[in-house]
Amino acid sequence: MNSDRRRWRARCVELTPIANMKETKIAVAQMGSVLGDVRANLARVRHWIKLAAEDGISLTVFPECILSGYIFRDRKELSASAVRADGPELAEIEGWCKSYNTTVIVGYCELAPDGLFNSAAVIGPQGTIGTHRKRHLPFIGADRFMDEPPGTKPAIFNTSIGPVGVGICYEIRFPEVFRTLALAGAEIIALPTNWPEQSEILATHFTRVRAAENFVYVLAANRYDTERDVRFLGASQIVDPTGHVRAHAERKEGLFSAAFDRQLARNKRIVFREGEFEVSPWRDRRPQTYCLD
């Protein structure tokens, strides 16, 4: 079996040559946030956007609620640090993405006419492509005071490097979220997050499983700092569609990048021996049997 696994891994490489094409780079930004100081956090985001562009990175994922922080004590305090989707803060990020010709996914606390939402904006050179509002809200930090958004459509957005799905933090615990995004065509699933140290199992196991079971890249962007009495885990990472970790931030601040191979995300078969020992978890799904009476 070990030799079969080696042959499978070798085959994965053969399926996805990139030597003769321009490499597409994707990244996660592991950084801290100053609670309630949107201007300071914007300056940090701009710093990493600029460095990402200089490094030729096409897509960068930032942590959850990075513009505001997360450990708020009440809804009033949270509201004071929330920003509007059409406000000057996101407009600044749109301008940077246009200037640097890059795409980012940025988490923020959204103040909207119909409530407060834990949101992540997908922003490219042409402006805001779309926004995902977190639907699964744990009783933790800012999420205690967020509203559940309306709507049921998958949060998938067409970017310059392909279709990107978005979940936020706690949503990795729901396999339905990632499977729905993958079925909708996502080749990358971005996960802005604020994992505390108690969430190590998510960073160690869930990211790899969600990537491998859905044959997608998973980009999890977390913080590594302390806010009030909460220490964040770090462990931002990029996992490829075979479940292998291609970049890992461990407990350091910075940009962590990897090559994006679109063909690898489009391959939904695992071949140990051609025509003899193959599995196709995508083709072999039986949705009609996945129901409750």
Q: What is the pLDDT of residues 68-93, one digit of tens each?
A: 999 999 999 999 999 999 999 999 99
Q: Residue 248 has what pLDDT?
A: 98
Residue 224: which residues within 8 A CB-CB, separation 6 or more?
Answer: 30, 32, 232, 233, 234, 235, 236, 249, 251, 252, 253
Q: Residue 76 has what pLDDT?
A: 97
Q: What is the pTM of this model?
A: 0.90
pLDDT at 2 > cutoff 80: no
> Average per-residue pLDDT in the chain?
91
Q: Residue 275 has what pLDDT?
A: 76
pLDDT band at 264 (very low <50, low <70, confident <90, very high): very high
pLDDT band at 272 (very low <50, low <70, confident <90, very high): confident
Cβ atoms of residues 226 and 232 within 8 Å:
yes
CA-CA distance, 207 to 205, in Å (whole number)? 6
Query: How many secondary structure helices (H) and strands (E) does the chain include?
Result: 8, 16
CATH 3.20.20.210 fits 22-260, yes or no: no
Per-residue pLDDT tens for 212-249?
999 999 999 999 999 999 999 999 999 999 999 999 99
Q: Residue 293 has what pLDDT?
A: 75
CA-CA distance, 168 to 140, in Å (whole number)? 13
Q: Residue 3 has what pLDDT?
A: 42
The structural domains of the chain, with segments of one domain joined by +, span: 22-260
Q: Residue 15 has what pLDDT?
A: 32
Residue 204 DSSP one-character state? I
Q: Residue 17 has what pLDDT?
A: 36
Coil, helix or strand at residue 131: strand
Residue 271 DSSP one-character state? E
Neighbours of 173 (CB within 10 A): 15
Per-residue pLDDT tens for 152-192?
899 999 999 999 999 999 999 999 999 999 999 999 999 99
Q: Residue 20 has what pLDDT?
A: 38
CA-CA distance, 34 to 144, in Å (whole number)? 19
CA-CA distance, 195 to 138, in Å (whole number)? 12
Per-residue pLDDT tens for 131-150?
999 999 999 999 999 999 99
Per-residue pLDDT tens for 18-30?
333 468 999 999 9
pLDDT at 5 > cutoff 50: no
Q: Poorest-confidence range of 89-93, 106-110, 183-187, 282-286?
A: 282-286
Q: Residue 7 has what pLDDT?
A: 36
